[in-house]
Amino acid sequence: MKTRLSMLLAMMAATLPALAQNVPLALADAIAGSVTQASSSPAFNALESQSLAALRHALKGSATTLKRDQLAKATQSANQADTAWLKASGYDFQSKVNQQAGMELLSAFSTLPDSVLQANRDTVAAINRDATQTTRHQALADAEGISFLYFLSGAMGPRLGKAFLAAYDKGELSKAAALIKASEVSTGAAKKHFNYPRPFLVEGNTVHLVPDDVIIQDKKPYTADGGSFPSGHTNTGYTDALLMAQMLPERFDALVIRGARYGYSRIVLGVHYPLDVMGSRMVAERNVAHYLNDGKYRALFNEARDQLRTALEKECGMPLAECAKSTGKDDPYRDPAMNTFYRFTMTYDLPQQKGEKQQIQVPEGAEVLLETALPHISAAQRRALMVKTAIPAGYPPSGTTAEQQFWQRLNLPAAYSMAQKIH
C-alpha cells in the first residue's frame, strides 16, 4: 500500500511538473515528517537518536543532570572547537558591517502589503497546528541544539553521519567547529530594527506552544523572546549547513536542504513566521558567499576543511567519497522529495507580488557557493545555473534591488541537481 507521502508525491508529479509551481502545504508537511524519527529507515532513526543523545550529553556538560538553566550558557567545549586557533589568526569577521548589509538586504519587509502579512500569519498557524508529534520533537531538538553542530549529522547519511558525531566529540573537527560557529552573523540588530512580534504574541493567535518532552523533558512550553524578523536560529542553521556543504561537497544538496529543514522547525514551534525563515536564508547565503570570497577567511576555511576531511575519512575507515555515498532509503535527505520540500521553503506559498519583474542578476562572487560542489565547470557556468534554476520573481521578502531579488530566488539544490544531470 502506498504511503501518504508517496501518494502526495504522485499527485504532485501529475499536477505540478514545473519548477516554477508552488508546492502544497500538505505535501511539504509530509516530506518534513519523513526526516524525523518517523522515517521508514531504522538506520536513519538510529543516527538521529545518537545525535540527540550526544546533544543532551553536551548540554549537560559536567553536571550530573540536565536542567533548564544550563541551556542558555551551553556552548561547544574547548575540545570540540579550537577557538584559540581562530583567535590567534586575528581574523576580523566585521560583524557590524555584515549586520548592516543584512538589514539592507531585507528592507523590503517594512513595505509588504497586509495580504502578505496575513498569509504569513495563516501559514505559521497551519504548520504549527498540523505538525505531527515527531516533527515537534525534531523542532525541539533543533531549537536547543543551536550552539552545536550535531543537527548536521542526519544530512550526511548513516555512515558519514556516525563518523561525524564521533569525530566531533573527539575534537578531531575542532577548527571547522570553531570557524563555522564564528561565521554566524547575529540577527540581533535586525530584530530590533524591524521590531516585529512573534506569532504567539499576536492578539488572537491560535499558536500551540510545544511542551518540552525531548531535551529537558519537563513539559515546559518552548518559547522565545526578542523580535521575530529575521530568525536567528534559521540564520544559524543555514550558515552552518552552507559552510559544511562547502567542506563536504559530496553531501552538498542534502546539507543545504538540512538548513531549510532547520528553519521549518521554527515555524513548527510557533515562534517564527515563514518570512522570518526566508529572510534569514537570504542573509545567510549572502554572508557565506561574502566570507568565502575573502582571501584571509578562505585560508582559514581551507585549513579547517582539510582537518575535517582527514578526520572523517579516518573515522569512516574508507575513502570519504565512498563513505558519503547515498544509502538509498537509509538516506532520506537524498530523497528527491527533499528538493520539493526545499522549493516550498523558498516561498512557503506566500502571495507572489504583481508588477514588473526584473531579470535576475547574479551578484559578483555569488557563484562561489557552488564552487566546491561543481569544481569541473567554470564560474560563468555556475552563474548560468543559478539563473536557470532560480524561482520566479516577486515572492516576498524580495524587494526592488538586484541583490534582494537574487538572494530570494536562488535555489542552490536545484542548481546542483541540474548540473548532475548535465554532467
Helical residues (DSSP H) of 68-113, grouped into ranges: 83-89, 95-105
Closest CA to 220 of 420, 68, 7: 68
420 strand-pairing partners? none
Q: Which residue has the higher pLDDT, 10 or 317?
A: 317
Q: What is the pLDDT of residue 23?
A: 84
55-109: per-residue pLDDT in tens? 999 999 989 999 999 998 899 999 999 999 999 999 999 999 999 999 999 999 9
pLDDT of amino acid 18: 39
Q: Which residue's entry shows cell 531535551?
A: 215
Lowest-pLDDT range, 14-28, 173-187, 241-255, 407-421?
A: 14-28
Percent of the chain topping pLDDT 70? 94
Q: Is the pLDDT of residue 1 over 70?
A: no
Instruction: Check residue 267 and report its DSSP letter.
Output: H
- Cα–Cα distance measured from residue 364 to residue 369, given in angstroms and rounded to the nearest whole number: 12
| Whether 124 contacts 229, CB under 8 Å | no
Question: Within 13 Å and on the Cβ side, how many CA atoms surround 236?
Answer: 22
Max Cα-Cα span within the chain:
61
**What b/e string do you get for 320-337 counting C-beta neighbours within 10 Å, with b at 16 or more?**
beebbbebeebbbbbbeb
- Tens digits of per-residue pLDDT, 105-119? 999 999 999 999 999
> When comparing pLDDT for 202 and 20, which is higher?
202
pLDDT over 70 at 255, yes or no? yes
Is the previous residue joined to 230 through a cis bond, with omega within 30 degrees of 0? yes
Alpha carbon 237 to its chain centroid, in Å, reads 4
pLDDT in tens, 265-290: 999 999 999 999 999 999 999 999 99
- Predicted local confidence at residue 17, as pLDDT: 36
Chain CA centroid to CA 270, Å = 17
Rounded average pLDDT over 210-224? 97
C-alpha to C-alpha distance for 109 and 100, rounded to whole angstroms: 15
Length of the chain in residues, anyone?
Answer: 423
Q: Which residues pair with 211 in a beta bridge?
A: 221
Rg of the chain in Å (alpha carbons):
20
The owner of cell 542558555 is 72
User: Which pTM was predicted?
Assistant: 0.94
Is a pLDDT exceeding 60 seen at residue 184? yes
Binned at pLDDT 50, 70 and 90, residue 423 comes out as low
Supply the mean pLDDT for the chain. Answer: 94
pLDDT at 264 over 60: yes
231 and 274 Cβ atoms separated by less than 8 Å: no
